[in-house]
Structure 1
């Protein structure tokens, strides 16, 4: 079996487990308290919630499979496939909420699956280097850091308004994208033994980013309607990871001269489908008169 095929299988397994974990965590973040609390206070309360820990353990299994996928394939390939977690989250969320999947949702689900298939096959992502040097990471910190800080400041200024949920979702998704790129370097170093991994600076940044992303994501779910926060998380993660994969790891898409137009269309469709599915997954139970399929 080709390495990219193995990466695909691991990435799809990761998407399934991450979807299950997200659905459980999202419900816990809303149920754990009725009070308005900040990211740190909310995170500390969730640490005492058994249901949230169940979701975290399932998601951790997904991250383990994601790490395995990154060991065999590029960030571009793996992150494109991780987007399919929405396709798994959709029926799971509907089942927990006691509702059916609408025809509108099925249409966007098919479009998302088709767009991901085009990106993976036509785009033919190449595998670059596993790690970046200090200079490249300094550039990332200097460009991405201020943007994320401004989003956090904006979320604080607009607390209680839908824009706060969007801004926090963008921060959480961006951190998860950074998490994936850092994970690539950690996984690659495993070949040199555990001592080499423990000496890796990326390992400790990776751990801090994971904790920060988790805490901010839970806050984004509570900051407003999940229909506002979830699309921001699910779109910003693959976009940031892909940009970093190209910019600092040297990965490339190789669609050929005639494939670029199709690839651009597929990316646009993937983003649009991701936003619509995230919004509908986070929406309240539909009216009984609404046409449904399933």
Structure 2
């Protein structure tokens, strides 16, 4: 079996476990407290929540499979396939909410699956480097750092408005996209031995980004309706991860002269269907949470 095929199978497995973990995290973020709390307070409360930890353990299996996939394939390939986590989250969330998946949702799910297939097959993503130089990462931090700080500050100033959740979701999605690129470097270092991994700054940056991504993810869920945070987060991560894969690691797409238009259409379909599915899942989750909180006979 080719390395790209192994990477694809591992990425699909990662998408399944990450979807389960995300659904559990969404529910925990809204159920852990009814009080208005800050980002740090929310994260500390979730650390005491058993359901949140179970979701984290399941998501960790997904991240392990993602890391294994990145060891065999490019960030472009793996991130494109991880978008299918929505296809798994859809029936899982519906099951937990005791509802049925609508024909409208299945239609968007089919379009998403088709778009991802076209991107993987027509785009023919190829691997680049596993790691980048310190100078390259300094430029990345110089660009992404101020943007994320501005998003956090603006979200605080606009607290209580839907845009606040969107801005925090952008921060979380950006961090998880960065996490994917750093994961590829960590996997490469692990192949050279544990001593090389411990001495490398990528390991500690990777751990810090993972914790920060989780914290801002929960904050974005709490900042407003899931219809604002989930679509933004879901589409920001693969976009940032793919762009960094090209810019930082030198990965490429090879669709051929006739394939660029098809690839562009597939990307547009993937973005639109992802947002549509995420909004639909978020609306259903919010409705289920509201009905769960209403007292009997209300």
Fold agreement, TM-score > 0.5 = yes
Q: Distance in 2 between matches of 1:29 and 1:130?
A: 34
Answer yes or no: is the 8 Å Cα contact 1:186–1:202 preserved in 2.
yes
The runs of 4+ residues in structure 1 deviating greater than 2 Å are 284-287
Q: How does 1:237-256 map to 2 (within 5 A)?
A: 237-256=237-256
Q: What does residue 293 of structure 2 align with?
A: none
Q: Distance in 2 between matches of 1:284 and 1:70?
A: 33
Q: What does residue 103 of structure 2 align with?
A: 103
Q: What does residue 236 of structure 1 align with?
A: 236
Q: Distance in 2 between matches of 1:145 and 1:272?
A: 27
Q: What does residue 134 of structure 1 align with?
A: 134
1:275 aligns with 2:275: yes
Q: Distance in 1 between matches of 2:23 and 2:39?
A: 19
If the length of structure 1 is used for normalisation, what is the TM-score? 0.96
Alpha-carbon displacement from aligned partner over 1:200-246 (angstroms, at most 9, x marks no partner): 10100010000000000001001000011001110000000000000
Number of corresponding residues: 287
Q: What does residue 176 of structure 1 align with?
A: 176
Alpha-carbon displacement from aligned partner over 1:259-287 (angstroms, at most 9, x marks no partner): 00000000011011111100000103799
Answer yes or no: is the 8 Å Cα contact 2:129–2:251 preserved in 1.
yes
Answer yes or no: is the 8 Å Cα contact 1:74–1:128 preserved in 2.
yes
Unaligned runs of 5+ in 2: 288-298
Q: How does 1:24-43 map to 2 (within 5 A)?
A: 24-43=24-43
Answer yes or no: is the 8 Å Cα contact 2:226–2:286 preserved in 1.
no
If the length of structure 2 is used for normalisation, what is the TM-score? 0.95
Answer yes or no: is the 8 Å Cα contact 1:99–1:286 preserved in 2.
no
**What's the secondary structure of 1:159's corresponding residue?**
coil
Q: Distance in 2 between matches of 1:285 and 1:80?
A: 25
Q: Distance in 1 between matches of 2:191 and 2:285?
A: 48
Q: What does residue 123 of structure 1 align with?
A: 123
RMSD: 1.1
Answer yes or no: is the 8 Å Cα contact 1:179–1:206 preserved in 2.
yes
Unaligned runs of 5+ in 1: 288-294
Answer yes or no: is the 8 Å Cα contact 1:99–1:285 preserved in 2.
no
